[in-house]
Amino acid sequence: MSTQSPNTSKAKVSRSPGKNRAAKSAKGNLNGAIPAELFDKKAFKETVIKHLHGSLGTDENKADNHAWFKATSAAIQELVLDRLRSTQKSHYLNDTRAVHYFSAEFLMGRLLSNNMHNFGLFEVADAALKELGVDLSDVLEEEPDMALGNGGLGRLAACFIDSLATMDYPAIGYGIHYENGLFRQEIKNGAQIERPDSWRDYGNPWEICRPESIQEVPLFGYVETKYGKNGNIQKEWHPGEIVKGVPWDIPVVGFGGSTVNVLRLWQSQSSGHFNWDVFNAGGYVDAQRENVQAETISKVLYPNDETEAGKELRLIQQYFFSACSLKDIIRRYKRAHGDNWDRFSEQVVVQLNDTHPAIAIPELMRILVDRAELDWDTAWNISKNTFAYTNHTLLPEALEKWPVRMIEKILPRHIEIIYEINHRFMQEVERKWPGNNEIKAKLSIIEEAGEKMVRMGNLSVIGSFAVNGVAEIHSKLVKENLFPEFDQLYPGKLTNVTNGVTPRRWLKACNPLLSDLISKKIGDEWPLQLDKLDDLSQYADNKTFQNQFMRVKLKNKEILAKEIKALTGIEVSTKAIFDIQIKRLHEYKRQHLNLLHIMALYRRLLENSEYDMHPRVFIFGAKAAPGYALAKTIIYAINKIADKINNDNRVNHKIKVVFLPNYRVSLAEKMIPAADVSQQISTAGKEASGTGNMKLALNGAVTIGTLDGANIEIAEEVGDDNIFIFGKTVDEVAAINAAGYNPYDYYYQNKELKALLDWLDSDYFTPGQPGALSSLKNSMLSGGDPYLVLADFDSYSESNKALDEAYKDKSRWAKMAILNTAKMGKFTSDRSINDYVDRIWKLEKCKV
Ligand code: 26Q
């Protein structure tokens, strides 16, 4: 079944991008090869109609919004492909060093609006379609999100390839062409239901299939040991199965439209090979039994953003896209350098987005040693100088480990190579710490306790020339807690690159009203030089500017209020504080701390109808991993508590609770511009960075948050007066845990907290279903409250009071909001990419 029916435009909320916009915005460096006639409205109209007729076989009278979407995209794609060709030609002629960003996830969202903005054609397209009687905002709504990722890690990859193209760096993104992206979330009676996401049901206007670059990937089988002419040992892998990798290219348009890089996603396909080799070796039955249906490899994105223990298909996915990508890179390298491997690591850097593609390390070793017949040390030098690894988590359960037995079966040659890498590494450890078996056990790639496992984190650190965390505090913890011995062994290898977000999507395109206000005030250079936003600081106290800024916020709140009404039927007042928590649902992100506080406010209002608080709308967006029971209970609790509070006249509309279903990139783009408050309340030390925090602050939301991840750096930028920080610090969390944390202490000491938790045990919020929310209570008491919700509750409650107080002072709040936008310059992904380039990738720009 289709999930995205082209004709039923859902929430008909006019976001008329054309209205209220300054006539011209930054066009970047558009020039040269783009057909000039596409720049004017008339020609654009003609091109759209040409596609309506010639590609879609319809006409202006019959076309529905989906057809207009297709035709408009096709018109833009003409420019995209033109620039793609010139970019590839330049990169080829210059034989440039390039970064290859290996990521199992790219959360691209929608591309039409983005591509139009990046070509400086948004206003032209808007006006052209208007003359055709078509509303661009309706057309944009027809595009399904490319939801090929779970959350932060996948969206970071998308922001990074945007910045790379924008700054003219040669780069390719490599990933998986999932047939089904992250599930579509429906809410039925308060509970999450997962439905398949089929983003390509009606065709994707951007992707280009490249059958000429198909790769073959071996799997299973056995390894034969042979002796070469000079008596050296040679290994030959006889795979039990071969699958095909079909590349689909998604053009990545830089802002200004000059460089168009590529995101290459691999789709698996049956190769039709029957492996007689395995058959003859007596492996017939095994090979058949272990046959994975080739097509299933790229069928679906794993919906967990923490580890999916021991799923064979997941490991095959990882190897599949890593192997295809390496072969693709090597093919391109050989075109310029033949069989001479000397310059490989000068030309190629591979960035591993977490350990998901870490199997690429032994795969490159296999190619160099078994196929190219280089000696081990030469091969290892090339390999080590090629890979760099980004760590995105410290949570022990999220550090990938694969059973040795499983790798042995699927990748019999790779397990040998991993053992050889480890053997040589253990000798290195012995030289550094002679006789210290404890350190050896800790640093070994192989975990020996219990079932033997391959630790992908250790493999990645050992096999890379650089390792980075994603925010200052996180990188410090990577060095001091996760990999301290590696830091001693390889001084300087572990470093930090603080995450960032692309201001093109996350301010310019998603918030046209604020963008125009900013450009009028300080000029339109900020999308490429986000530090320029600091020029707004001088107006933070200016009453006129405060009013303008807050009027924009109000307009954005009106737009979101309509969307909320359309999606949920809930009416919210735009006079209320719009308080937003959007992120994956996880205990460590503590949506339940937010919820407990909402219950506390509700209870205070029931006890005292005069309880002093500014009206507040608490808005959530979150998907829970389908197998994560407690996360699903939290979603259920939010919805049930919302039902109760929203329909209780006694609270006098002071609190509304809204859960917006199916949180995704395109919904984030509608929510973020309307936020007054950004909830960033993870247990200190658990959120590696966060990037939603940056997007919300950039759009003038004030953060209430813990000293965790990038919140710390946001606080440094905006200053203590413009952020609400609460809760235990990383050190305090460690101390509490060391001393033995007992949540019952807080439960019995704090009457309000006790009443709230006991409330969850009743059937007050779930009439007729007592106990439906008890598991939530239990997680915070008998379950030990591993994320210190109770320990931080008081501090959070106090911080919320301070926030409420601050909001009452309109001018003070406006100043805070302005300064949040003004001080976000650091968090452009352009800065992150420049940090990677300077510290790790060492790339040169290649102007097209
Ligand atoms: C691993 C193995 C098997 C199945 C799934 C996975 C898997 C998939 C996705 C594990 C982790 C993820 C995603 C992690 C993620 O999104 N991490 C976030 O990365 C952001 C970018 O650096 C940070 O800002 C967030 O703090 C971090 O949580």
**Domain assignments of the chain as residue spans, ordered by start:** 94-108+145-498+833-841, 542-827
pLDDT at 35: 55
Ligand 1 atom having least distance to the Cα of 474: 26
Rounded average pLDDT over 68-90: 97
Distances (CA, A) of 572 to 265, 678, 765: 42, 18, 21
- State what percent of residues in the chain have pLDDT above 70: 93
Residue nearest to atom 2 of ligand 1 (CA): 307
For residue 812, give the DSSP letter.
Answer: H
d(CA 505, CA 530): 13
Residues 6+ apart with CB under 8 A from 240: 219, 220, 221, 222, 275, 278, 283, 286, 287, 290, 291
What's the gap in Å between 672 CA and the centre of ligand 1? 21
The token pair that represents 199 in the structure block:
């983003």
What's the gap in Å between 392 CA and the centre of ligand 1? 6
If we measure between CA atoms, which residue out of 419, 410, 412 comes closest to residue 316?
Answer: 410
What is the per-residue pLDDT across 683-729, written as a single tens digit (0 to 9) for each?
Answer: 999 999 999 999 999 999 999 999 999 999 999 999 999 999 999 99
- The label of the residue with tokens 């992120």 reads 583
Mean pLDDT over the full length of the chain: 94
Contact 316, 292 (CB under 8 A): yes
Contact 644, 603 (CB under 8 A): no
Ligand 1 atom having least distance to the Cα of 306: 10
The token pair that represents 513 in the structure block:
């009203």
Residue nearest to atom 11 of ligand 1 (CA): 305
What is the per-residue pLDDT across 408-442, written as a single tens digit (0 to 9) for each?
Answer: 999 999 999 999 999 999 999 999 999 999 999 99
What is the per-residue pLDDT across 488-524, written as a single tens digit (0 to 9) for each?
Answer: 999 999 999 999 999 999 999 999 999 999 999 999 9
Distances (CA, A) of 429 to 415, 462, 465, 488, 557: 21, 11, 17, 11, 58
Is 542-827 in the same CATH topology as 94-108+145-498+833-841? Answer: yes
Using CB distances shorter than 6 Å, the residues near ligand 1 are: 150-153, 156, 302, 304-308, 314, 356, 392-393, 398, 400, 470, 499, 687-691, 709
Ligand 1, pocket-test mutation among 301, 307, 392, most atoms within 8 A of CB: 392
pLDDT at 230: 82
What is the per-residue pLDDT across 268-295, written as a single tens digit (0 to 9) for each?
Answer: 999 876 566 666 666 555 555 445 689 9
Indicate if the pLDDT at residue 28 is higher than 60. Answer: no
Ligand 1 atom having least distance to the Cα of 709: 26
What is the per-residue pLDDT across 553-608, written as a single tens digit (0 to 9) for each?
Answer: 999 999 999 999 999 999 999 999 999 999 999 999 999 999 999 999 999 999 99
State the amino acid at position 228 in one-letter form. Answer: G
Residue nearest to atom 6 of ligand 1 (CA): 307
Indicate if the pLDDT at residue 32 is higher than 50. Answer: no
d(CA 765, CA 508): 41
| Host H or E run for residue 99 | strand 98-102
d(CA 354, CA 153): 8
pLDDT at 9: 36
The CATH architecture to which 542-827 belongs is 3-Layer(aba) Sandwich (3.40)
d(CA 443, CA 447): 9
Question: How many whole angstroms from its chain centre is CA 795?
Answer: 30
What is the per-residue pLDDT across 206-220, written as a single tens digit (0 to 9) for each?
Answer: 999 999 999 999 999
Indicate if the pLDDT at residue 401 is higher than 80. Answer: yes
- Label residue 34 by pLDDT band (50, 70, 90): low
Contact 402, 315 (CB under 8 A): yes
Assign 3-class secondary structure to 473-491.
HHHHHHHHHHCHHHHHHCC
Contact 735, 782 (CB under 8 A): no
- Helix/strand/coil for 742: coil
What's the gap in Å between 247 CA and the centre of ligand 1? 24
CA angle 106, 828, 17 (to 5 degrees): 80
d(CA 158, CA 418): 31
If we measure between CA atoms, which residue out of 235, 223, 493 comes closest to residue 365?
Answer: 235
d(CA 563, CA 545): 27
Ligand 1, pocket-test mutation among 148, 153, 307, most atoms within 8 A of CB: 153
Domain 94-108+145-498+833-841 has CATH 3.30.2290.10: no
Least confident of 26-35, 92-101, 780-789, 812-821: 26-35
Ligand 1, pocket-test mutation among 159, 393, 467, most atoms within 8 A of CB: 393
To the question of pTM greater than 0.85 for the whole model, the response is yes
Residue nearest to atom 9 of ligand 1 (CA): 305
Residue nearest to atom 7 of ligand 1 (CA): 305
Beta bridge partners of 174: 102, 264
Residue 800 CB burial class (10 angstroms; 0-12, 13-18, ≥19): buried
Assign 3-class secondary structure to 608-627.
CCCCCCCCEEEEEECCCCCC
Q: How many CA atoms lie within 13 A of 411 on its CB side?
A: 28
Provide the 10 A C-beta neighbour count for residue 795: 14
Indicate if the pLDDT at residue 455 is higher than 50. Answer: yes
What's the gap in Å between 105 CA and the centre of ligand 1? 9
Active site residues: 392, 583-584, 589, 691, 695
Indicate if the pLDDT at residue 205 is higher than 90. Answer: yes
What's the gap in Å between 395 CA and the centre of ligand 1? 10
- State what percent of residues in the chain have pLDDT above 90: 91
pLDDT at 310: 75
Contact 318, 400 (CB under 8 A): no
pLDDT at 343: 98
If we measure between CA atoms, which residue out of 346, 337, 333, 341 comes closest to residue 369?
Answer: 341
Residue nearest to atom 1 of ligand 1 (CA): 307
Rounded average pLDDT over 677-683: 99
pLDDT at 727: 98
Q: Kindly report the backbone phi and psi dihedral angles of residue 587, in degrees, each rounded to the nearest multiple of 5, phi listed first.
A: -60, -40
d(CA 237, CA 370): 9
d(CA 808, CA 362): 59
pLDDT at 3: 33
Q: Helices 41-54 and 122-131: crossing angle, nearest 10°?
A: 70
Rounded average pLDDT over 397-417: 97
Q: How far apart are the first and last CA of the chain?
A: 43
If we measure between CA atoms, which residue out of 109, 250, 242 comes closest to residue 177?
Answer: 250
Q: Kindly report the backbone phi and psi dihedral angles of residue 217, in degrees, each rounded to the nearest multiple of 5, phi listed first.
A: -125, 120
- Helix/strand/coil for 290: coil
pLDDT at 275: 60
Contact 577, 617 (CB under 8 A): yes
Residue nearest to atom 24 of ligand 1 (CA): 690
Provide the 10 A C-beta neighbour count for residue 325: 26
What's the gap in Å between 688 CA and the centre of ligand 1? 9
What's the gap in Å between 235 CA and the centre of ligand 1? 36
Distances (CA, A) of 606 to 198, 648, 652, 654, 805: 45, 10, 10, 11, 20
d(CA 57, CA 551): 45
Ligand 1 atom having least distance to the Cα of 314: 3
Q: How many CA atoms lie within 13 A of 74 on its CB side?
A: 19
What's the gap in Å between 150 CA and the centre of ligand 1? 7
Indicate if the pLDDT at residue 27 is higher than 60. Answer: no
For the chain, percent helix, then strand, then coil, each to nearest 5? 50, 15, 35
Ligand 1 atom having least distance to the Cα of 390: 22
Distances (CA, A) of 731 to 468, 476, 713, 728, 735: 22, 12, 17, 8, 6
Provide the 10 A C-beta neighbour count for residue 267: 23
Residue nearest to atom 21 of ligand 1 (CA): 153
What's the gap in Å between 153 CA and the centre of ligand 1? 5
Ligand 1 atom having least distance to the Cα of 355: 1
Contact 419, 362 (CB under 8 A): no
- The label of the residue with tokens 């992908």 reads 456
- Helix/strand/coil for 63: coil
Indicate if the pLDDT at residue 139 is higher than 50. Answer: yes
Ligand 1, pocket-test mutation among 148, 305, 468, 496, most atoms within 8 A of CB: 305
What is the per-residue pLDDT across 600-631, written as a single tens digit (0 to 9) for each?
Answer: 999 999 999 999 999 999 999 999 999 999 99
